[in-house]
Amino acid sequence: MGTSVGIGFSTRKSPMDAGNEAARTALEQAGIAKPDLVLVFATVGYHQQQLIGAIREATSGAPLCGCSGEGIIVQDAVVETNFAVGVMVIASDEVSFGITSVTGIGEEPCAAGKKLAAQITPLLADDSRAFFLLADGLAFDFDPFVAAFESVLPSSAKLPIFGGLAADNWASRRTYQYHDGEILSQGACCIVMSGRCRVAWGINHGCVPVGAKRTITRSKGNIIYEIDGTPALDVLKEYVDEDWAVKWNKATLNLGLGFKTPEHLRERYDEYYVRYIMAKDDEAGSVTIQSDVTDGTPLWIVRRDKELMMDGLKSIPRQIKEDLAGQKPKLVLQFECMGRGRVVFKEQERMDLVKCLQRDLGEDLPWLGFYTYGEIGPISRYNCFHNFTSVVAVVY
């Protein structure tokens, strides 16, 4: 049989109609009745339980994993609306998938990471190749979660991790994670992929520093209280308009925090890695990011650079093709920062960028992605978290 993959997509507003249309289109494209795995990305205008229920019914209750996104990416469409759903179905006698999930990642990230690892361990095999992780973008703190996750795994199972953080429609209120028929929030879903397969990937961000080096002088975990002895929010005011507090989402989509990429990662990455400012505390004058920091860490205020983003996205196929060495991919997953979507590019520009990727890698490939609140992808042998970034993973 080999590996059969199909993609379905719908923008119908009825959750039942959209889920049914996307799932049935994917099954027809793959030429299968029941898949081994169903992967779903959807926006948050839908009644989520009804949407997933319709997809589960159409796919005969096959194992399902996925999450909500700010927008959906497939071969012929890039859609950032409240009503869009993409479905990938996979049936294979070469590749196998195991799925599991946890909740409570915001309150106890270490405990949640250890629990997820314990649940995924029985699903591991000698030929396990990668993890795919989808987590709540409003609650996730990458460093303690993944450190705890990897500490429980056998040493032979330190696999590359790919994925993205679930998003909503810019409201920053609630995101959703899908595990079989369950709809979670403050959760994380994980897929372990095993078998006769490999993953090639490319990563690029596209931000530039806009000021001199600064230093974190007071922090705790992923909360930054002071920069250069000044409340972090006061420092950011120097870089934004006077009404920044009212237009917080817009301000943080134009500005982020840049940190020097460690020396051992620079061969495969940019000079800086970027962090999105996911929350603020006006009373404390602090900001929260999605990974931990320590006092004394140097940082730079960075902004998105449209030209750099466009050039960087075009470099991703080159990175991937080096690893593919002429082999044909089975499927492509794209995790794209929502700060690289409609807030920067017009609709045709977004489509042109994605089509450029697809032309270089293959316009006939099963392709599914979503606009995220954070991206996960390895640099060299190290699993890393990213913001303002495109992560493209190709299974071959």
Residue 199 pLDDT: 97
Cα distance between residue 274 and residue 380, in whole Å: 17
Q: What are the strands of the beta sheet with 72-74, ordered from one edge?
A: 77-79, 72-74, 367-372, 331-337, 390-395, 199-204
Buried b (16+ CB within 10 A) or exposed e, 253-274: bbbbbbbebeeebeeebbebbb
State the DSSP H helix or E strand holding residue 17, giving kind and residue range, or none if neither. Answer: helix 15-30
**For position 332, what pLDDT does the model report?**
98
What pLDDT is recorded for position 371? 96
- Give the whole-angstrom CA distance, residue 308 versus residue 312: 6
Residue carrying structure tokens 């270490």: 110
Instruction: Check residue 152 and report its DSSP letter.
Output: H
The CA-atom distances, in angstroms, between 143 and each of 5, 43, 109, 335 are: 33, 27, 9, 19
Burial class (CB in 10 A: 0-12, 13-18, 19+), 321: middle
pLDDT score for 307: 82
The whole-number pLDDT of residue 383 equals 94
Which is nearest to 2 in space by CA: 28, 38, 40, 36?
36
* Interatomic CA distance for residues 288 and 275, integer angstroms: 10
Give phi and psi for 48, each to the nearest 5.
Answer: -65, -40
Structure tokens at 198: 């490999």
Specify the pLDDT at position 268: 66
Given a cut of 50, the residues of the chain with pLDDT beneath it are none
Largest CA distance in the chain: 63
Its pTM stands at: 0.90
Cα(56)–Cα(389) distance, integer angstroms: 31
Q: How many residues does the chain have?
A: 396
pLDDT of residue 35: 98
For helices 306-324 and 347-361, the axis angle rounded to 10 degrees is 20
Tell me the per-residue pLDDT of 94-121, one tens digit each, with 9 for 90 and over.
999 999 999 999 999 999 999 999 999 9
Distance CA 51, CA 134 (A): 18
Q: What Å distances lie between residue 324 and 39, 107, 117, 185, 286, CA to CA?
A: 23, 40, 29, 36, 44
On whether the CB atoms of residues 56 and 180 are closer than 8 A, the answer is yes
